[in-house]
A and B are shown apart, each in its own frame.
Chain A
């Protein structure tokens, strides 16, 4: 058995669940942080693997969760914070569906504006809205105060 396969076995295979793969090394913790903030995820067994060898990426992180279904809201949050990861659904130890998630161009009510003088932080109950500035970068513009931020510096809204 190659060294690489031995390492993969360090995280047990799951019969039924969700795997988040191709997480850039070091970013796994960010995803874990998001997941752990959702109440519905509190009792779900989660395994986090860090710094695995990857042919594609050199090093990668990996998350396995034993649950049948990951809510679209959580998937969206993951796509905003760490775009480009692969989310795989596992049934009977096999991948039966997978999707590469990309950050949406329009982010509605999922991130808080960082500008304390933005109306979304001054008035209660106002839904936030951000638009991607361009295709390549991670920068988004607040629809209200028009300030531009890096997506990673904005805190997620967990309902």
Chain B
């Protein structure tokens, strides 16, 4: 039976651990061995909205495994722009490839594609709903950097209201028994209460603050996100908060020695360039881990064992 990757909510902890194990194995494989694994297979990268990083890292992953890539990078390059329905596009493209990677602004589109398609579908982001491959690569990065996931303390900084990356990662970390979270956000961009809801309210602790400095010395992972200007109805409000979430190297003096600063990228002005040179900067290796995790995902969903 074909296996799709649509939502983190569909995965058990054991299934997530399987992805992590596989990613570690992929990383240990020599490049020439890796290159033989998906020869003759074709991945369709169907990007109905632009996304440089996710698309390029999927394409890079497929090329590293020896497979071929077809696809498009924006809706205007497809027949959807001529009025073709989304499902007709899926029915057509599934004849051209072995696996589909879909990014679409509509929420639930990957789920719909998975339902109508006879080949595996990977969700590369559906509107503000899910982006499971980002969450998996974040978990892989945390496990690699800290040697474990459970029991760590994570601070999230920035737009916690709209960032699906943050929502999805918090829910996944909760599954891994991460119980302490520090949430640093302006009042208007705080984490919606729904994401803190759980059957075990006494187990999890969410500390909310407006001040980045408060979080730095207390966490193992500092997960930064971009504060998007367009999210603010009042631009004066944006001007007020934008710099209060700027992390600089000087602010990291009090940090725990093993602290890692992560960011889904692109950054705008949340992390000063002087942080890049510190031992804490984990965001560019995180981007590299994205390719490794996506190699693992492609292998798993194409049924190739290593």
Contact = CB atoms under 8 A, between A and B. Distances in A.
Contacts of A142: 108
Contacts, number: 48
A124 B84 CA distance: 11
Contacts of B68: none
Contact of A119 (B112, B130, B194): B112
A117 B109 CA distance: 10
Given A117-B105, A117-B107, A120-B108, A145 B129 contact: yes
A143 B9 CA distance: 11
Interface of B: 7, 9, 85-87, 105-109, 111-112, 126-130, 194
Contact of A145 (B85, B86, B127, B194): B127
18 contacts: A115-B107, A117-B105, A117-B107, A117-B127, A117-B128, A119-B107, A119-B108, A122-B106, A126-B112, A143-B108, A143-B111, A144-B107, A144-B111, A145-B127, A146-B7, A146-B108, A146-B129, A147-B107
B6 to A, nearest CB: 10
A142 B166 CA distance: 21
Interface string A95-117: 00000000000000000000101
A146 B7 CA distance: 9
Contacts of A123: 85-87, 106, 112
Contacts of A117: 105-107, 127-128
Contact of B194 (A122, A126, A144, A148): A148
A74 interface: no
A50 interface: no
A118 interface: yes
A146 B105 contact: no
Contacts of A126: 112
A103 to B, nearest CB: 21
Contacts of B85: 123-124
A154 to B, nearest CB: 15
Contacts of A118: 106-108
Interface of A: 115, 117-120, 122-124, 126, 142-148
A118 B9 CA distance: 17
Nearest to B108: A144
Contacts of B87: 123
Contacts of A144: 107-108, 111-112
Contacts of B106: 117-119, 122-123
Contacts of B112: 119, 123, 126, 144
A148 B197 CA distance: 13
Q: Which 10 pairs across A and B sit closest by C-beta, in order of nearness?
A: A144-B108, A145-B107, A119-B108, A145-B108, A122-B106, A119-B109, A119-B106, A119-B112, A144-B111, A117-B107
A85 to B, nearest CB: 29
A22 to B, nearest CB: 31
Interface centre among B85, B127, B129 (most CB of A within 10 A): B129
Contacts of A119: 86, 106-109, 111-112, 126
A110 to B, nearest CB: 17
Contacts of B9: 146
A146 B86 contact: no
B109 A146 contact: no
Given A119-B108, A119-B111, A146 B194 contact: no
Contacts of B127: 117, 145
Nearest to A143: B111
Contacts of A124: 85
A107 to B, nearest CB: 15
A126 B113 CA distance: 11
A11 to B, nearest CB: 43
A148 B194 CA distance: 9
Most buried by B among A119, A144, A146: A119
A145 B107 CA distance: 5
A120 B126 CA distance: 13
Contacts of B194: 148
Contacts of A147: 107
Given A146-B108, A146-B129, 20 more contacts: A117-B106, A117-B107, A117-B127, A119-B86, A119-B106, A119-B109, A119-B111, A119-B112, A122-B109, A123-B85, A123-B87, A126-B112, A142-B108, A143-B111, A144-B108, A144-B112, A145-B108, A145-B127, A146-B7, A146-B9
